[in-house]
Amino acid sequence: MSANLEISGLRKVFHTGKPAVDDVSFTVEAGEIVVLLGPSGCGKTTTLRCVAGLEHPTGGTIRIGDALVSDPAHGLLVPPRARNVGMVFQSYAVWPHMTVRQNVAYPLKHRGLSGAEAARKVDGALDLVDLAQYAERPVVQLSGGQMQRVALARSMVYEPRLLLLDEPLSNLDAQLRLRLRDDLRRIIKAAGLTALYVTHDQLEAVVLGDRIGVMQQGRLLQMAAPEEVYNRPADLFVASFTGASNFLPGVLRTRQGEFGTIELAGGHTMQAWCAAALAPGTAVTLAIRPENIRLEAASAVNRFEAMVVSQRFQGVQTAYALGLAGTTIEALATGTTMRHPAGTTVTLNIPPEVCWAYPAP
């Protein structure tokens, strides 16, 4: 039966002395999928391994369901085998000398189940991952995506309280990754499992997670629903890591509620959503996603004339480099034709709600 996960003040320091995980706290509710997102070295995998019991935390507590499994301050560290968690790794980690059925059945060998009960659980797990027809096939005859499904079925067959997934799609080719990414959420939800998923891929996080936690340098910067992380990043790093690539320096001149007027170079002004700590007179950086810049604008708010510096055709969209406010910004326009040649002037619009102001670094 799935259980909730509660992490409080988690800290992990390796021999370098710099915390790999620094005072991280969050809860995963029973049946929820939470994704930890961030660049390499941000602490997301170390957090996952602490939950699994594969790393020994320096401080803080970890609770799975009603059981406290890690509390270094009081000398408590429940071993991995006693935590009843399932784990799926980057590598498939399947046993090459076994069939699909034997791989999935292996975790049940020492759990005191009858042959019929074990077979029922294996059949159910294989059905969930759409591999029932391959049950008797040697696992080495499967594709990479199918082998990862075997690993997933094996991690679910004994009905763990918590499923941990450490970048399970990173070793797959692009097409397999897309297909399995779309199936993973369905499979986990169908199994009714609580899941903690680690990835550096923003789109993967958005597709899979009920909530996303963005990490940097061992700290948890934001934990929220995908839509909130995507449309209301907590700070400049979260905005940048999740896709904002246009950054404009300016000064906040006036503010009314969540929105303010930003003075940019060349006398331009822009209306933008402002982070809570910003006060008039503060130097700011505006973060804007290329896909949120609208060409051929109709709105009068944040409407500007810009010169097309260059264009890059990308099949279903075109990326435009535009000269604005003394710098160059990028805009994306969907469609299979390039409508704005280099050297022409375009009118663009950036809605205030998708233009975000943060304290200047």
Of all residues in the chain, what percent carry a pLDDT higher than 90?
A: 78
CATH 2.40.50.140 spans which residues of the chain?
251-359
| pLDDT (mean) for 106-121 | 87
Contacts of residue 220, defined as CB under 8 A and 6 or more positions apart, other chains included, come to 24, 25, 26, 213, 214
Spatial distance between the Cα atoms of 330 and 311, rounded to a whole number of angstroms: 9
Band of pLDDT at residue 7, cut at 50, 70 and 90: very high
Contact 11, 21 (CB under 8 A): yes
DSSP 40: T
Of all residues in the chain, what percent carry a pLDDT higher than 70?
A: 99
Spatial distance between the Cα atoms of 252 and 250, rounded to a whole number of angstroms: 7
Q: How many residues does the chain have?
A: 361
Band of pLDDT at residue 113, cut at 50, 70 and 90: confident
Tell me how far CA of residue 163 lies from CA of 30, 35, 83, 156, 267, in angstroms: 11, 12, 11, 8, 54
Q: Which residues pair with 345 in a beta bridge?
A: 307
Please give the structure tokens belonging to residue 143.
Answer: 């594709």
Residue in the block written with tokens 């130097």: 283
Spatial distance between the Cα atoms of 107 and 280, rounded to a whole number of angstroms: 61
Return the higher-pLDDT residue of 2 and 126: 126
Contact 221, 238 (CB under 8 A): yes
Average model confidence (pLDDT) across the chain: 93
- Supply angle C-alpha 306, 310, 312, rounded to 5: 125
| pLDDT (mean) for 307-315 | 93
3-state secondary structure 260-290: EEEECHHHCEEEEEECCCCCCCCEEEEEECH
262-286 residue pLDDT tens: 999 878 899 999 998 899 999 999 9
**Residue 174: how many other CB atoms lie within 10 Å:** 7
Spatial distance between the Cα atoms of 105 and 228, rounded to a whole number of angstroms: 40
Contacts of residue 236, defined as CB under 8 A and 6 or more positions apart, other chains included, come to 247, 285, 287, 358, 359, 361
> Among 2.60.34.10, 3.40.50.2300, 2.40.50.140, 3.40.50.150, what is the CATH number of 251-359?
2.40.50.140
Spatial distance between the Cα atoms of 57 and 318, rounded to a whole number of angstroms: 47
Backbone angles phi, psi at 332, to 5 degrees: -115, 135
CATH 3.40.50.300 spans which residues of the chain?
5-236
Contact 139, 94 (CB under 8 A): yes
Return the higher-pLDDT residue of 180 and 229: 229
pLDDT at 115: 86
From the centroid of its chain, how far is CA 226?
A: 8
Which of 288, 295, 298, 293 shows the shortest CA–CA distance to 339? 295
Q: What is the CATH code of the structural domain delimited by 5-236?
A: 3.40.50.300
* Beta strands 211-216; 195-199: pairing state: unpaired
pLDDT for 42 beyond 80: yes
Largest CA distance in the chain: 77
